[in-house]
Amino acid sequence: MRIGIAGSMQHTERMIEVAEELRSHGHDVFLSRSAAEFVGKTDDEKEALKMHHKFARDAIRDFWRQMQGADALLVANFDKGGIPNYIGGNALMEIGFAHVMGQEVFLLNPVPDIPFYRTEIEAMRPTVLDGDLSCFVGR
């Protein structure tokens, strides 16, 4: 399968680990083209870099282009800012893109309890993995 991984860039290192695990099972996996630039940075540095990429590099549209022809989107929704299983605005848009393109949507962890858009996430019927990537083995 061709699988895109989305999530908060604060967790880039963890998303890379997920990508490597999926690759070990023969999947073609992609993250944001700029992911490597975030590795080893502090949260503040990542935040500044993220803003730079959104505005100067059109990161939202760039990831949308990468999503073309993918089979699935996996959202690596780890805790952030005191919110369990956080999904931010960008990841929400990427879930929407995948949904509209007919791609399967997977959440690594349960849907976050974010009242402003919980129902929108649920309406796109993602498969919640509860941290278990075994559904990708042999697929």
Angstrom distances, CA of residue 108 to CA of 34, 41, 71, 79: 21, 23, 16, 11
Q: What is the separation of C-alpha 58 from the centre of its chain, rounded to a whole number of angstroms?
A: 17
What is residue 138's predicted lDDT score, i.e. its pLDDT?
83
Q: Rounded to whole angstroms, how far apart are CA atoms 28 and 51?
A: 27
Per-residue pLDDT of the chain (139 residues; tens, 9 = 90+): 999 999 999 999 999 999 999 999 999 999 998 899 999 999 999 999 999 998 998 999 999 999 999 999 999 999 999 999 999 999 999 999 999 999 999 999 999 999 889 999 999 999 999 999 999 998 7
Domain boundaries, the chain: 2-136
Give the architecture-level CATH label for domain 2-136. 3-Layer(aba) Sandwich (3.40)
pLDDT for 116: 85
C-alpha torsion sign, points 119, 98, 63, 135 = positive
Phi, psi torsion values for 3, nearest 5 degrees: -125, 125
